[in-house]
Structure 1
Amino acid sequence: MNLLELIRKNRSFRRFEENVKIEKDQLQTFVEHARLSASARNQQSLKFLLVNQPEDNKKLFTLLGWAGYLKDWDGPQEGERPSAYIVVLHDNNIATTHFCDEGIAMQSITLAAAEAGFGCCIIASVDRKKLRLMFNIPEHLDILNVVAIGKPAEKIVLEEISGDNYEYWRDEQSIHHVPKRALNDILWPK
Protein backbone atom coordinates (compact mmCIF):
# COMPACT_ATOMS: atom_id res chain seq x y z
CA MET A 1 0.00 0.00 0.00
CA ASN A 2 1.44 3.37 -0.94
CA LEU A 3 1.39 6.37 1.41
CA LEU A 4 -1.62 8.07 -0.23
CA GLU A 5 -3.67 4.86 0.08
CA LEU A 6 -2.63 4.57 3.73
CA ILE A 7 -3.69 8.18 4.39
CA ARG A 8 -7.08 7.48 2.77
CA LYS A 9 -7.45 4.42 5.00
CA ASN A 10 -6.43 6.38 8.12
CA ARG A 11 -9.78 7.85 9.24
CA SER A 12 -11.25 8.89 12.59
CA PHE A 13 -13.09 5.70 13.51
CA ARG A 14 -15.63 5.85 16.32
CA ARG A 15 -16.92 2.27 16.39
CA PHE A 16 -14.70 -0.75 16.89
CA GLU A 17 -14.76 -4.51 17.41
CA GLU A 18 -14.11 -4.25 21.14
CA ASN A 19 -13.38 -7.97 21.50
CA VAL A 20 -10.26 -7.66 19.26
CA LYS A 21 -7.52 -7.05 21.82
CA ILE A 22 -4.41 -4.99 21.23
CA GLU A 23 -1.34 -6.12 23.12
CA LYS A 24 1.03 -3.72 24.84
CA ASP A 25 3.90 -4.60 22.48
CA GLN A 26 1.71 -3.58 19.52
CA LEU A 27 1.03 -0.22 21.23
CA GLN A 28 4.76 0.16 21.83
CA THR A 29 5.35 -0.39 18.11
CA PHE A 30 2.93 2.45 17.34
CA VAL A 31 4.76 4.71 19.81
CA GLU A 32 8.08 3.72 18.23
CA HIS A 33 6.81 5.36 15.04
CA ALA A 34 6.12 8.54 17.01
CA ARG A 35 9.50 8.35 18.75
CA LEU A 36 11.34 8.33 15.44
CA SER A 37 9.26 11.16 13.95
CA ALA A 38 10.28 14.81 13.76
CA SER A 39 10.26 16.89 16.94
CA ALA A 40 10.47 20.69 17.17
CA ARG A 41 14.04 21.60 18.14
CA ASN A 42 14.48 17.84 18.63
CA GLN A 43 13.49 18.25 22.29
CA GLN A 44 11.39 15.06 22.29
CA SER A 45 9.26 16.20 25.23
CA LEU A 46 6.31 13.88 24.60
CA LYS A 47 5.52 10.89 26.79
CA PHE A 48 2.95 8.18 26.11
CA LEU A 49 0.69 6.33 28.55
CA LEU A 50 -0.43 2.96 27.13
CA VAL A 51 -3.84 1.66 28.22
CA ASN A 52 -5.15 -1.73 27.07
CA GLN A 53 -6.66 -3.50 30.09
CA PRO A 54 -10.48 -3.86 29.96
CA GLU A 55 -11.08 -2.25 33.37
CA ASP A 56 -8.82 0.70 32.61
CA ASN A 57 -10.39 1.02 29.13
CA LYS A 58 -13.86 1.15 30.66
CA LYS A 59 -12.86 3.90 33.11
CA LEU A 60 -11.00 5.94 30.51
CA PHE A 61 -13.89 5.71 28.07
CA THR A 62 -16.15 7.62 30.49
CA LEU A 63 -13.77 10.61 30.39
CA LEU A 64 -13.96 11.13 26.62
CA GLY A 65 -16.28 13.11 24.36
CA TRP A 66 -17.17 11.49 21.05
CA ALA A 67 -18.25 12.95 17.66
CA GLY A 68 -19.47 16.46 18.39
CA TYR A 69 -21.29 16.78 15.04
CA LEU A 70 -23.40 13.67 15.69
CA LYS A 71 -25.82 15.32 18.14
CA ASP A 72 -28.07 12.27 18.53
CA TRP A 73 -25.19 9.86 19.28
CA ASP A 74 -23.57 9.46 22.69
CA GLY A 75 -20.57 7.52 21.44
CA PRO A 76 -19.76 3.87 20.95
CA GLN A 77 -21.93 1.35 22.79
CA GLU A 78 -20.50 -1.57 24.74
CA GLY A 79 -19.02 -4.02 22.27
CA GLU A 80 -17.98 -1.25 19.84
CA ARG A 81 -15.59 0.68 22.08
CA PRO A 82 -11.81 0.93 21.60
CA SER A 83 -9.59 -1.94 22.73
CA ALA A 84 -6.74 0.38 23.69
CA TYR A 85 -5.70 3.99 24.14
CA ILE A 86 -2.52 5.99 23.96
CA VAL A 87 -2.58 9.10 26.14
CA VAL A 88 -0.24 11.76 24.74
CA LEU A 89 1.56 13.78 27.41
CA HIS A 90 3.97 16.70 27.35
CA ASP A 91 6.83 16.74 29.87
CA ASN A 92 7.33 20.32 31.09
CA ASN A 93 10.60 19.26 32.76
CA ILE A 94 12.07 18.75 29.28
CA ALA A 95 10.58 21.75 27.44
CA THR A 96 8.11 24.52 28.15
CA THR A 97 6.42 24.18 24.75
CA HIS A 98 5.67 21.31 22.43
CA PHE A 99 4.88 23.31 19.27
CA CYS A 100 3.29 20.82 16.84
CA ASP A 101 4.99 17.68 18.13
CA GLU A 102 1.80 15.98 19.28
CA GLY A 103 0.23 16.35 15.82
CA ILE A 104 3.25 14.80 14.16
CA ALA A 105 3.40 12.01 16.76
CA MET A 106 -0.31 11.21 16.60
CA GLN A 107 -0.26 11.12 12.80
CA SER A 108 2.65 8.66 12.96
CA ILE A 109 0.75 6.52 15.51
CA THR A 110 -2.47 6.49 13.51
CA LEU A 111 -0.70 5.70 10.23
CA ALA A 112 1.16 2.81 11.89
CA ALA A 113 -2.11 1.54 13.35
CA ALA A 114 -3.86 1.79 9.97
CA GLU A 115 -1.04 -0.11 8.31
CA ALA A 116 -1.46 -2.84 10.96
CA GLY A 117 -5.21 -3.09 10.27
CA PHE A 118 -6.43 -0.98 13.18
CA GLY A 119 -8.27 2.31 13.28
CA CYS A 120 -7.93 5.30 15.57
CA CYS A 121 -9.69 8.41 16.74
CA ILE A 122 -7.72 11.34 18.15
CA ILE A 123 -9.76 12.81 20.98
CA ALA A 124 -9.20 16.26 22.46
CA SER A 125 -12.45 16.28 24.46
CA VAL A 126 -11.01 14.73 27.63
CA ASP A 127 -11.73 15.22 31.33
CA ARG A 128 -8.06 15.85 32.06
CA LYS A 129 -8.51 16.36 35.79
CA LYS A 130 -10.13 12.94 36.29
CA LEU A 131 -7.68 11.29 33.88
CA ARG A 132 -4.76 12.69 35.88
CA LEU A 133 -6.21 11.24 39.10
CA MET A 134 -7.14 7.91 37.53
CA PHE A 135 -3.60 7.15 36.34
CA ASN A 136 -1.70 9.18 38.95
CA ILE A 137 -0.16 11.41 36.27
CA PRO A 138 2.25 13.93 37.87
CA GLU A 139 1.63 17.67 37.46
CA HIS A 140 4.69 18.26 35.27
CA LEU A 141 3.06 16.15 32.54
CA ASP A 142 0.36 17.98 30.56
CA ILE A 143 -2.36 15.75 29.14
CA LEU A 144 -2.65 16.72 25.47
CA ASN A 145 -4.89 14.19 23.69
CA VAL A 146 -6.03 10.59 23.76
CA VAL A 147 -5.71 8.28 20.75
CA ALA A 148 -8.43 5.61 20.83
CA ILE A 149 -7.43 2.44 18.96
CA GLY A 150 -9.28 -0.66 17.83
CA LYS A 151 -10.34 -2.85 14.94
CA PRO A 152 -12.73 -0.65 12.90
CA ALA A 153 -16.39 -1.70 12.90
CA GLU A 154 -17.73 0.98 10.60
CA LYS A 155 -17.42 2.10 7.02
CA ILE A 156 -16.14 5.61 6.32
CA VAL A 157 -16.57 7.29 2.94
CA LEU A 158 -14.64 10.36 1.80
CA GLU A 159 -16.52 12.75 -0.46
CA GLU A 160 -16.11 16.30 -1.74
CA ILE A 161 -17.71 19.09 0.25
CA SER A 162 -21.06 20.24 -1.07
CA GLY A 163 -21.40 23.97 -0.52
CA ASP A 164 -19.92 25.13 2.76
CA ASN A 165 -20.89 22.15 4.92
CA TYR A 166 -17.79 20.39 6.23
CA GLU A 167 -19.52 18.46 9.05
CA TYR A 168 -19.24 14.67 8.97
CA TRP A 169 -22.48 12.69 9.14
CA ARG A 170 -24.00 9.20 9.06
CA ASP A 171 -26.59 7.91 6.63
CA GLU A 172 -29.47 5.47 7.21
CA GLN A 173 -27.06 2.50 6.86
CA SER A 174 -24.73 4.03 9.50
CA ILE A 175 -22.07 4.74 6.90
CA HIS A 176 -19.92 7.61 8.14
CA HIS A 177 -19.44 10.34 5.51
CA VAL A 178 -16.50 12.74 5.72
CA PRO A 179 -16.58 15.76 3.38
CA LYS A 180 -13.20 16.95 2.09
CA ARG A 181 -12.44 20.17 0.28
CA ALA A 182 -11.35 19.73 -3.35
CA LEU A 183 -7.63 20.13 -4.09
CA ASN A 184 -8.29 23.24 -6.19
CA ASP A 185 -10.13 24.80 -3.23
CA ILE A 186 -7.13 24.56 -0.92
CA LEU A 187 -4.43 25.72 -3.34
CA TRP A 188 -3.63 29.42 -3.21
CA PRO A 189 -3.65 31.38 -5.34
CA LYS A 190 -6.18 29.64 -7.57
Structure 2
Amino acid sequence: MLKDLVLKNRTYRRFYGEEGISRETLLELIELARLSSSGANLQQLKYIISNTPEKNQMIFEELKWAAYLKDWEGPVEEERPSAYLVMVADREIGSNIYWNHGIACQSILLGATEKGLGGCMFGGFNKENLKKKLQVPDRYEILLVIALGKPKEEVVLEDLGPDGDIKYWRDEKGVHHVPKRRLEDLILDL
Protein backbone atom coordinates (compact mmCIF):
# COMPACT_ATOMS: atom_id res chain seq x y z
CA MET A 1 0.00 0.00 0.00
CA LEU A 2 1.32 3.45 -0.92
CA LYS A 3 0.66 4.93 2.55
CA ASP A 4 2.85 2.24 4.15
CA LEU A 5 5.66 3.04 1.72
CA VAL A 6 5.32 6.78 2.45
CA LEU A 7 5.42 6.12 6.21
CA LYS A 8 8.62 4.07 5.84
CA ASN A 9 10.20 6.74 3.61
CA ARG A 10 11.82 8.85 6.30
CA THR A 11 14.90 11.05 6.23
CA TYR A 12 17.71 8.81 7.45
CA ARG A 13 21.11 10.16 8.42
CA ARG A 14 22.82 7.05 9.79
CA PHE A 15 23.35 3.90 7.75
CA TYR A 16 25.06 0.52 7.79
CA GLY A 17 28.06 1.83 5.87
CA GLU A 18 29.41 -1.63 5.09
CA GLU A 19 26.25 -2.45 3.09
CA GLY A 20 27.07 -1.40 -0.46
CA ILE A 21 24.64 -0.35 -3.17
CA SER A 22 25.30 -1.56 -6.69
CA ARG A 23 25.35 0.67 -9.75
CA GLU A 24 22.50 -1.44 -11.10
CA THR A 25 20.32 -0.57 -8.09
CA LEU A 26 21.15 3.12 -8.48
CA LEU A 27 20.22 2.94 -12.17
CA GLU A 28 16.89 1.34 -11.21
CA LEU A 29 16.20 4.28 -8.88
CA ILE A 30 17.13 6.83 -11.55
CA GLU A 31 14.82 4.97 -13.94
CA LEU A 32 11.92 5.72 -11.56
CA ALA A 33 12.80 9.41 -11.73
CA ARG A 34 13.10 9.24 -15.52
CA LEU A 35 9.59 7.81 -15.79
CA SER A 36 8.10 10.46 -13.48
CA SER A 37 6.36 13.64 -14.59
CA SER A 38 8.47 16.53 -15.81
CA GLY A 39 7.31 20.16 -16.13
CA ALA A 40 6.79 21.01 -19.82
CA ASN A 41 8.23 17.50 -20.42
CA LEU A 42 11.71 19.09 -20.60
CA GLN A 43 13.40 16.19 -18.78
CA GLN A 44 16.51 18.23 -18.00
CA LEU A 45 17.50 16.37 -14.82
CA LYS A 46 20.72 14.35 -14.96
CA TYR A 47 22.53 12.36 -12.27
CA ILE A 48 26.07 11.79 -11.10
CA ILE A 49 26.35 8.35 -9.50
CA SER A 50 28.67 7.69 -6.57
CA ASN A 51 29.08 4.34 -4.83
CA THR A 52 32.82 4.12 -4.25
CA PRO A 53 34.51 5.08 -0.98
CA GLU A 54 36.71 7.73 -2.64
CA LYS A 55 33.94 9.52 -4.49
CA ASN A 56 31.55 9.16 -1.54
CA GLN A 57 34.12 10.84 0.71
CA MET A 58 34.46 13.79 -1.70
CA ILE A 59 30.70 14.31 -1.59
CA PHE A 60 30.34 13.72 2.16
CA GLU A 61 32.86 16.48 2.94
CA GLU A 62 30.64 19.11 1.27
CA LEU A 63 27.32 18.21 2.90
CA LYS A 64 25.64 20.01 5.80
CA TRP A 65 24.08 17.41 8.06
CA ALA A 66 20.99 17.93 10.28
CA ALA A 67 20.80 21.65 10.99
CA TYR A 68 18.58 21.17 14.06
CA LEU A 69 21.06 18.79 15.71
CA LYS A 70 23.57 21.44 16.75
CA ASP A 71 25.95 19.06 18.54
CA TRP A 72 26.14 16.54 15.67
CA GLU A 73 28.64 16.87 12.82
CA GLY A 74 27.15 14.06 10.77
CA PRO A 75 27.49 10.29 10.80
CA VAL A 76 30.68 8.61 11.92
CA GLU A 77 32.59 6.83 9.16
CA GLU A 78 30.98 3.41 9.62
CA GLU A 79 27.49 4.99 9.55
CA ARG A 80 27.92 7.02 6.37
CA PRO A 81 25.85 6.50 3.21
CA SER A 82 26.89 3.77 0.78
CA ALA A 83 25.98 5.82 -2.27
CA TYR A 84 24.96 9.26 -3.50
CA LEU A 85 23.02 10.58 -6.44
CA VAL A 86 23.95 14.15 -7.31
CA MET A 87 21.02 15.66 -9.22
CA VAL A 88 21.85 18.34 -11.77
CA ALA A 89 19.84 20.42 -14.22
CA ASP A 90 21.04 20.62 -17.79
CA ARG A 91 20.63 24.35 -18.47
CA GLU A 92 21.07 23.82 -22.22
CA ILE A 93 17.76 21.93 -22.21
CA GLY A 94 15.91 24.48 -20.08
CA SER A 95 16.43 26.94 -17.25
CA ASN A 96 13.12 26.50 -15.43
CA ILE A 97 13.19 23.26 -13.46
CA TYR A 98 9.62 23.74 -12.18
CA TRP A 99 8.99 21.10 -9.52
CA ASN A 100 10.88 18.36 -11.35
CA HIS A 101 13.53 17.77 -8.71
CA GLY A 102 10.94 17.25 -5.96
CA ILE A 103 8.99 14.73 -8.03
CA ALA A 104 12.20 12.93 -9.02
CA CYS A 105 13.46 12.80 -5.42
CA GLN A 106 10.21 11.37 -4.13
CA SER A 107 10.25 8.69 -6.84
CA ILE A 108 13.86 7.78 -6.06
CA LEU A 109 13.32 7.68 -2.30
CA LEU A 110 10.09 5.66 -2.52
CA GLY A 111 11.91 3.21 -4.79
CA ALA A 112 14.80 3.04 -2.32
CA THR A 113 12.35 2.40 0.53
CA GLU A 114 10.73 -0.43 -1.44
CA LYS A 115 14.22 -2.00 -1.76
CA GLY A 116 14.87 -1.78 2.02
CA LEU A 117 17.08 1.30 1.63
CA GLY A 118 16.69 4.81 2.97
CA GLY A 119 17.96 8.23 2.11
CA CYS A 120 18.37 11.87 2.86
CA MET A 121 17.96 14.80 0.45
CA PHE A 122 20.46 17.62 0.79
CA GLY A 123 19.88 21.16 -0.33
CA GLY A 124 22.50 22.35 2.15
CA PHE A 125 25.98 21.76 0.75
CA ASN A 126 28.87 23.70 -0.74
CA LYS A 127 27.78 23.76 -4.39
CA GLU A 128 30.92 25.38 -5.77
CA ASN A 129 33.32 23.01 -3.99
CA LEU A 130 31.27 19.99 -5.01
CA LYS A 131 31.07 21.16 -8.61
CA LYS A 132 34.87 21.54 -8.70
CA LYS A 133 35.57 18.21 -7.00
CA LEU A 134 33.27 16.32 -9.35
CA GLN A 135 34.43 18.35 -12.38
CA VAL A 136 30.86 19.21 -13.37
CA PRO A 137 30.75 21.19 -16.65
CA ASP A 138 29.28 24.71 -16.53
CA ARG A 139 26.14 23.76 -18.44
CA TYR A 140 24.97 21.78 -15.38
CA GLU A 141 23.69 23.23 -12.12
CA ILE A 142 23.82 21.00 -9.06
CA LEU A 143 20.34 21.06 -7.53
CA LEU A 144 20.64 18.61 -4.65
CA VAL A 145 22.31 15.49 -3.35
CA ILE A 146 20.55 12.29 -2.29
CA ALA A 147 22.43 10.12 0.21
CA LEU A 148 21.44 6.43 0.16
CA GLY A 149 22.10 3.39 2.29
CA LYS A 150 20.57 0.75 4.52
CA PRO A 151 19.07 2.73 7.44
CA LYS A 152 20.66 2.21 10.85
CA GLU A 153 18.45 4.54 12.83
CA GLU A 154 14.86 4.52 13.99
CA VAL A 155 12.75 7.51 12.97
CA VAL A 156 9.49 8.15 14.84
CA LEU A 157 6.74 10.51 13.72
CA GLU A 158 4.79 12.29 16.42
CA ASP A 159 2.15 15.01 16.61
CA LEU A 160 3.42 18.56 16.80
CA GLY A 161 3.35 19.69 20.42
CA PRO A 162 1.33 22.62 21.76
CA ASP A 163 4.44 24.84 21.55
CA GLY A 164 4.42 24.43 17.74
CA ASP A 165 8.12 23.46 17.63
CA ILE A 166 8.79 21.64 14.34
CA LYS A 167 12.46 20.84 15.07
CA TYR A 168 13.38 17.18 14.91
CA TRP A 169 15.46 15.78 17.77
CA ARG A 170 17.12 12.62 19.09
CA ASP A 171 16.47 11.06 22.47
CA GLU A 172 19.07 9.45 24.74
CA LYS A 173 18.74 6.13 22.83
CA GLY A 174 19.45 7.83 19.49
CA VAL A 175 15.86 7.55 18.25
CA HIS A 176 15.13 10.36 15.81
CA HIS A 177 11.82 12.15 16.55
CA VAL A 178 10.04 14.15 13.86
CA PRO A 179 7.08 16.36 14.85
CA LYS A 180 4.31 16.51 12.22
CA ARG A 181 1.35 18.86 12.01
CA ARG A 182 -2.04 17.17 12.34
CA LEU A 183 -4.12 16.64 9.21
CA GLU A 184 -6.83 18.99 10.48
CA ASP A 185 -4.21 21.73 10.85
CA LEU A 186 -3.49 21.55 7.10
CA ILE A 187 -7.07 22.04 5.92
CA LEU A 188 -8.41 25.52 5.22
CA ASP A 189 -12.20 25.42 5.30
CA LEU A 190 -12.86 28.70 3.53
**What residue identity is the alignment partner of 1:165?**
D
Which runs of at least 4 in structure 1 moved beyond 4 Å after TM superposition?
Answer: none
**Distance between the aligned counterparts of 1:184 and 1:162, measured in 2?**
14
**1:22 lines up with 2:21 in the alignment:** yes
**Distance between the aligned counterparts of 1:56 and 1:48, measured in 2?**
14
**Distance between the aligned counterparts of 1:100 and 1:134, measured in 2?**
27
Match of 2:71 in 1: 72
Match of 1:92 in 2: 91
Alignment of 1:115-134 (within 5 A): 115-134=114-133
Match of 2:77, SS state, is coil
Match of 2:177 in 1: 177
Please report how far the alpha carbon of residue 127 of structure 1 lies from its aligned counterpart in structure 2 after TM superposition. Answer: 1.0
Match of 2:167 in 1: 167
Please report how far the alpha carbon of residue 138 of structure 1 lies from its aligned counterpart in structure 2 after TM superposition. Answer: 0.5
Please report how far the alpha carbon of residue 105 of structure 1 lies from its aligned counterpart in structure 2 after TM superposition. Answer: 0.2
**Distance between the aligned counterparts of 1:89 and 1:108, measured in 2?**
16
**What residue identity is the alignment partner of 2:165?**
N
Match of 1:79, SS state, is helix
Structure 1 length-normalised TM: 0.98
Structure 1 stretches of 5 or more lacking a match? none
**What residue identity is the alignment partner of 1:112?**
G
Deviations 1:93-150 (A, max 9, x none): 0001101100000000000000000000001111111111111101110000000000
**Distance between the aligned counterparts of 2:174 and 2:11, measured in 1?**
15
Match of 1:162, SS state, is coil
Match of 2:64, SS state, is coil
Structure 2 stretches of 5 or more lacking a match? none
**1:8 lines up with 2:7 in the alignment:** yes
Deviations 1:15-34 (A, max 9, x none): 00000000111000000000
Match of 1:62 in 2: 61
Range moving further from structure 2, 133-142 or 12-21: 133-142
**Distance between the aligned counterparts of 2:157 and 2:77, measured in 1?**
27
Match of 1:139 in 2: 138
Match of 1:44 in 2: 43
Structure 2 length-normalised TM: 0.98
